[in-house]
Amino acid sequence: MRILYFDAFSGISGDMTVGALLALGVPIRRVREELGRLPLRGYEIAAESVKVNGIAAQHFAVRIEHHEHAHHHRPYREIRSMLERAGLTELIARNALAIFAALATAEARVHDIAPDDVEFHEVGSVDAIVDVVAAAAGFVELGVEAAYVSPLPSGSGTVSSQHGILPVPAPATVELLRGFPMRTGDGDGELVTPTGAAIVAALAKPGAPAMRVTNVGYGAGTRRLNDRPNVLRLVVGEIASLPNADELVVIETNIDDANPELYDHVIERLLDAGARDVYLTPVLMKKNRPGVLLSVLGAAPDRERLAAIMLSESTAIGVRYHAVHRTTLPREVREVMTEFGAVKVKFALAPDGRHNIAPEHDDCRRIARERQVPLKSVYQAAIAAALRK
C-alpha cells in the first residue's frame, strides 16, 4: 500500500501542499491539464525551486490578473457545480469535491447555516480553487492509497478576513481539524490555513504508521519564519499492512491450593466461553508456597462471564483485572499440499511485507498419526510448502 505522510512541523497551506507534491515528481503539465478543464480564466501557475534554511523545496504560486472577478464571493453550491461539470478526471473530481465539502461543513458550523448557504470569500477565490484542484490532482498522480498527518502547530495571534479580525487558528480551521491533534500555542501567526486544513481533513487521517520511505518532497511557504523552516514535508512510503488494534481485558488470580488436574478443565471451559488466551505462570506466594497465576485474556464485555468461570471452576476466591491494548497482524488460514497431504497453515502479514507462517498444530498432529510419521516432519513439510506458496 502506498501512503503519503504530511510531516507538517511548520503547518500547512494549499500552495505548500501543491509545491511538495511537485517536488515528489508530480508533473506540472498534468496539473495544468486538469486545471484547464475549469471555467476559470485570468490566472497562470508557476513553480520554482527555492531553498529554505538550506532545504531544497518547490514554491507553487498562482498569479492572478487584476480584474473584478478574481476575488468575488462564490457560494459553495456554485463551486460544487463547477467541479462536477468541469470534466475533471473522476478521482481528481472526487478529491476536490471532498475538500470543498469539508470546508462548507466547517463554515456552516461556524456561521450556524446550512452548508449549501455558505459563501466562500478567501477560499472561493481563484487561487484557492486552483490550489485545491492541483492538490487533488497530485494525490491521484502519485497513486496515494492512504494519507496521514502529524500533529499540527496551531500558531498564534490574529488574521484579517472578510469577516474582520479573527483569532488564529481561524474558526473554520478549528472546525476542520476536529479529531486531529494540534500543538496549542506553537508558532507565530497563521501556520495552518483553512485550505490546508481542509485538504488533510478530507484526505488524511491523524497518525504516523510504520512505513518504508521511498520519496520525500518539500513545499515552500511564502513567509519566512524565525523559529523553523517554513516548508511542508511530504513523505511517500510503502506499507504492506496496517496492524489491527483493539482493547482487551486481562483477568488474573493466584492459586496455591488447587489440584493440578483441575487446570486442563478450567482452561478448556474458558476457551470455549470466548477467552482469547489462557495461560498459567508458576509463582511463589505468601509463606513461600509455590502457586499458579491463572491469566485470562478476553474482550471487555466478556469480563464478568469469564471471571465467573474462574471462580466456579477453580479454588480462587477473587480475581483482579485490568485493560490492555493489543495490536494484531492481518491473518488468514490457507491449505497447502505436502507429501503427507493437505495441511492448514496460518499466514500473518507483517508491516514489512513478510509473512509469519505457522502450521496448525492439530492438523499436523492428526496427519502424523494417520501417516505414522514424526510430527516434526509434517511441520517441516508444511512450512516448506507455505514458503513456496
Q: pLDDT digit string (tens) for 107-135?
A: 999 989 988 888 886 555 888 899 999 99
The whole-number pLDDT of residue 211 equals: 84
The whole-number pLDDT of residue 247 equals: 81
What are 204's strand-pairing partners? none
Q: Look up cell 475538500; give the residue.
A: 99
Percent of the chain with pLDDT over 70: 95
The whole-number pLDDT of residue 350 equals: 79
The whole-number pLDDT of residue 327 equals: 83
Residue positions counted in the chain:
389
Strands (E), the chain: 2-7, 43-52, 55-64, 74-75, 119-120, 146-149, 152-153, 158-161, 164-167, 182-183, 205-206, 212-220, 231-238, 244-255, 277-284, 290-299, 320-328, 331-338, 341-349, 355-359
Q: Residue 72 pLDDT more than 70?
A: no
How far apart are the C-alpha atoms of 171 and 165, rounded to whole Å?
A: 11
Give the angle 210-215-219 at the CA atoms, nearest 5°: 110
Q: Residue 176 pLDDT more than 60?
A: yes
The whole-number pLDDT of residue 162 equals: 72
Helix (H, G, I), strand (E, B) or coil at 75: strand
Q: What is the DSSP track for 17-67?
A: HHHHHHHTT--HHHHHHHHTTSS--SEEEEEEEEEETTEEEEEEEEEE---
How far apart are the C-alpha atoms of 305 and 317, rounded to whole Å?
A: 15
Q: Give the number of other CB atoms < 10 A from CB of residue 59.
A: 22
Q: Residue 69 pLDDT more than 50?
A: no
Q: What's CA 165's distance to the chain center, in Å?
A: 35
* Cell, residue 204: 488524511
Which domains can be identified in the chain, with CATH numbers? 2-238 (no CATH), 244-328 (3.30.70.1380), 331-388 (3.10.20.300)
Burial bucket for residue 127 (CB in 10 Å: 0-12, 13-18, 19+) = buried
Give the angle 240-206-166 at the CA atoms, nearest 5°: 155
* Cell, residue 52: 529554505
* Cell, residue 260: 493440578
Q: Give the number of other CB atoms < 10 A from CB of residue 121.
A: 15
* Cell, residue 161: 478576513
Query: Would you say the pTM of this structure is higher than 0.75?
Result: no
> Inter-axis angle of helices 126-142 and 28-35, to 10 degrees?
130
